[in-house]
Every structure is written in C-alpha cells, then in structure tokens.
Amino acid sequence: MRLGLISVLACVACGGSSGEPDGSMAGDAAVPVARCERPALHDVSAPTATVGDGTPASCTAAALQQAASAGGTIVFSCGAAPLTITVAAPITFTKETVLDGGGLVTLSGGGTTRILYLDSDYNTPTPRLVVQRLTFKSGRSPAAGADTAQGGGAIYRDGGSLTVLDSAFDDNHAPATGQDVAGGAIYGFGGGDTIIVGSTFTSNGASDGGALGSLNGDLTVINSTFTGNAATGTGGNPGNGGCGGALYMDGRDEATSLCGVTIRGNTAGAIGGGFFRVSNDHTGSFAMDRSTVDDNRVTSTTDGNAGGLYLEGLTLAITSSTISRNQAFYNGGIWINTCQVEMTNVTIAENTATGSNGGGVWLGHTPTGTMRNCTIANNHATAMGQVAGGIFGGGLTLVNTIVANNTAMYTPTCDVARTGGSGNLQWPAGSACTTAPLVADPMLGTLADHGGDAETLVPAATSPARGIGTGCPPTDQLGKPRPEPCTAGAVEAQ
C-alpha cells in the first residue's frame, strides 16, 4: 500500500501508537519544529523484548541482534545515562519490528559498517521496520557490491517498508561515487515506502542523496531537517552520481510528499543541491507544503543544474514554501522539467545561476499549470550574455504573482511572455513575463522570518501590489486570511 502525505496525516497513530510525541530525541539533538500534523510515536509500554538488564555493559550489539531476529517491539534498558552501542556488522531485521531508543541510545557503525539492514524482497512492502528516538552515527555502507546495495550508510531497506520517528543521523556515509549509489544515512530500495518524521540529518554523504535515497518506493518526510549533507559524485545519472545534496529519489509512479521540511546548506556535485527527483515515465508526483529549501549548492563551477530542486517527469504541487539563496551553474532555485504544475503562496528569492539562465526558475518542456500568488524576486543570472534572472523558459500561467528585482545581463526578468493570467506585477519594465502586467515597484521588504513557516518577502502597506489580485487563495503564505481582491504575491501587504 502506498502512503502519500494525505494518508499519513489522516492516520493519527500510524501503526498503532497510543502516545503523543514527547519532544525527546536520542543524543543532544532536538526534534524539529512541528509545522505539520504527524503520526505519533509507537506505544512501547508492553515490549516483547528488552535489550539490556539496566546496566550499560549489558547493552551489546549481540543482544540487539538477538532481539531483532525475533521482531516485535524492542526497547533498551541500559541505565539512565546516554549510551553508544557500536556494531561490528549490520543488525539485520526480517520481521515486523518497532525499535525504540528512548532518547538515550546511539547506534554507531564505528566508521566501518552499516548499522541496520531490513532484509525483505524488492517487490514486497512488508515487513515494516519502525525506528524511533534513536541516534545513528558513523555508519558506513560497503564499498563493493551492486550499486543499490552499496547505499544506506546507517539503514538500508531492501524491500519492506521503513518508518523513522524522532531520530538523528550524523556523519553516516555511502561510497562517494557511483550511479544509483545513494543515501549516506538511509536508502530505501523497492518494496513499500519510506516515512521520515521529526528527524534530523547532518553531515551525511553519498554519491547521490547525501542524507536520503529512495529508488522505486514512495517517500514521505514530515517536520524534519537536512543540513550539511553532500552528494559527492560527479556527472549525474547516467554518470557517476552527484545528484541530490540532501535527498535523491528516482523511479516511476511513486509519490513524494514533504511537509514542514527544511533542506538547508547541502551540496551536490552535479544536479540538485537540495533535492533531486525524477520520474522516468512521467507518472510520479511531488508535493511540498510549508517547507524551506535554502542555501544549497551544486559545487561544479563549469556545469551542474538546479541549486535548490531538480524535478523531472512529475505532477507537481508546491504550497506555502520558500526556495531561497540556492546556487548552481544552470539555474539557481528550482528546475521544473515536468508536465503539470500548481504552485500557490510560494516565495522564490535570492537564488543565483552562475553560468546560465534561470536564477529563480527554469522551465523545461513547456509545462502546463498555474503559479498563483507567488513571489519571484531578487534572483540573478550573473554570467555574461544571460537573458533571464527570474524565469527562463516557456509555460505556466501566472496569476496574482510578483516578478521583481531579478537581474541578468539582457532582458533581465524573463526570456518569454506568458499569455493568460491576471493580477500580476512586474518590476522593472523590460522583457514582460506575462501579458500586460502592472509595472511598478512592489516595495518588498527583506527576506526574513515574518512569523510563518518559512522566510518571506512582505510588501509595504502602500505597495501597488495591494488589491490587484482576484480569485485569491483563502490565506497567504503566513497563514493569514486574504481579502478579495488580494495583494499579488505570496504574502499580503502589511
């Protein structure tokens, strides 16, 4: 069964939990801010197995493997102090299991081995492994073997399904180069789905998907952060990797759902400094809500696409999110090479293309759909001879959208004008992005925290963008009610 964002959020206690998240987390990390409704922690009050007898010395990798082999609900009793258990070989699961660290246990690969392995079958969505309130550190997946089996420095899901709740992943690594070698921390391969909730990923690395890789399985991420991860390959796919600094997802008709996610300060060697997602037969979907993709980079100085997000072959829906300060040679913010697009209350700001066009947005294959009440501002294409700092490429209908203060050497904002749409404002004049936009300075403030789920640009109270929009969403990006008519852009004038 596929679990997209809607079905996960409708499941108050996904998998039979009875308690609410208690804010604890393994190690010193804190659970990320809960911007979106989420599944609760699983109830572990009646475990089927306990690792340890209350002393640190009793909590061994061998004891953990013995419990894992039987499955069920597993907890630890290792004393009151935080404890690290270092494994010499991956702990293998073949049965339905919930593994709870109680916020005190770190599992380490010691820099030499993968930590957990869910051993199922590519075509089988069961069993499900649930890990919660654990820290995973210094996992290393194997350098030899088939490319997919080399992924997942901390956890490798070979079929089955995986749920991760309130856990931290730090300094886990898969091989640095190779096509489809993905997931410095986690790789989900085939089977069912991967669900990540309330978790943090820092300083992980792999050829693709510095933190997280998913191939031919659904992916849902809620209230989680990805910082300082790296896709270290080069050349792309096909090629030698380097796709998706934080997250990499490839496949066909799978669903991707992000809600309350922060992807910040990650790097990729080839494509998608933050997130790389491709559907090979144009049947996949990508939904992102109340999320931030900020300050990610593609490191190649002579090539490389999409500093923030690379999205191809998908039905795309992005709401109440900010894509900002990302950088790559081709396109800084978001590369959309897909069919159907709906974007509402989205801010795309301060992104940079260093060698080509589309500082903010690059549109390939002339997608259909609507950008409604979006703000595309302060994006730049800095190389000689470029023609579009804001939006490059044709397609989409802009409605109630601000396109302002974007720069390039020539025709700085857009290279083509779009027909249809209304309530749009553009500044400065020059190459029109839409038919008959209002040409005026929208008087935008600085990109900053104005009280919403992501940083935004707020128009001044006297902005000419005020009151020019019709057919407005009920709220703006900050969650504040919109009047009708409304202010163009992602945020109502204050």
Greater model confidence, 280 or 266: 266
**Which tokens hold the place of 351?**
């992104």
Mapping DSSP to helix (H, G, I), strand (E, B) and coil, where does residue 4 land? coil
Q: According to the model, what pLDDT value does residue 282 have?
A: 85
Give me the domain span that covers residue 171: 5-319
In this predicted structure, which of 90-94, 197-201, 430-434, 482-486 has the lowest mean pLDDT? 430-434
Q: According to the model, what pLDDT value does residue 237 have?
A: 82
The answer, yes or no, to whether residue 26 has pLDDT greater than 70, is no
Q: What is the pLDDT of residues 459-473, one digit of tens each?
A: 999 999 999 999 999
Residue 268 lies in a domain: yes
Q: According to the model, what pLDDT value does residue 451 have?
A: 94
Q: What is the pLDDT of residues 224-259, one digit of tens each?
A: 999 999 999 999 988 899 999 999 999 999 999 999
Give the Cα separation of 146 and 143 in Å (integer): 9
What does the mean pLDDT of the chain come to? 93
Q: According to the model, what pLDDT value does residue 25 have?
A: 45
Residue 9 lies in a domain: yes
Give the number of residues written for the chain.
494
Residue 344 lies in a domain: no
The answer, yes or no, to whether residue 11 has pLDDT greater than 80, is no
Q: According to the model, what pLDDT value does residue 9 have?
A: 31
Residue 167 lies in a domain: yes
Greater model confidence, 130 or 26: 130
Q: What is the pLDDT of residues 206-219, one digit of tens each?
A: 999 999 999 999 99
Q: According to the model, what pLDDT value does residue 167 have?
A: 98
Q: What is the pLDDT of residues 415-459, one digit of tens each?
A: 999 988 999 999 998 889 999 999 999 999 999 999 999 999 999
Residue 258 lies in a domain: yes
Residue 219 lies in a domain: yes
Look at the chain and report how many structural domains it folds into.
1
Q: How confident is the model at residue 23 (pLDDT cuts 50, 70, 90)?
A: very low
Q: What is the pLDDT of residues 28-65, one digit of tens each?
A: 445 788 899 999 999 999 999 999 999 999 999 999 99
Which residues are CB-neighbours of 10 under 8 A, at least 6 positions away?
A: none
Residue 81 lies in a domain: yes
Q: What is the pLDDT of residues 145-166, one digit of tens each?
A: 889 999 999 999 999 999 999 9
Tally DSSP H helices, then E strands, for the chain. Answer: 2, 43
Q: According to the model, what pLDDT value does residue 30 have?
A: 59
Residue 277 lies in a domain: yes
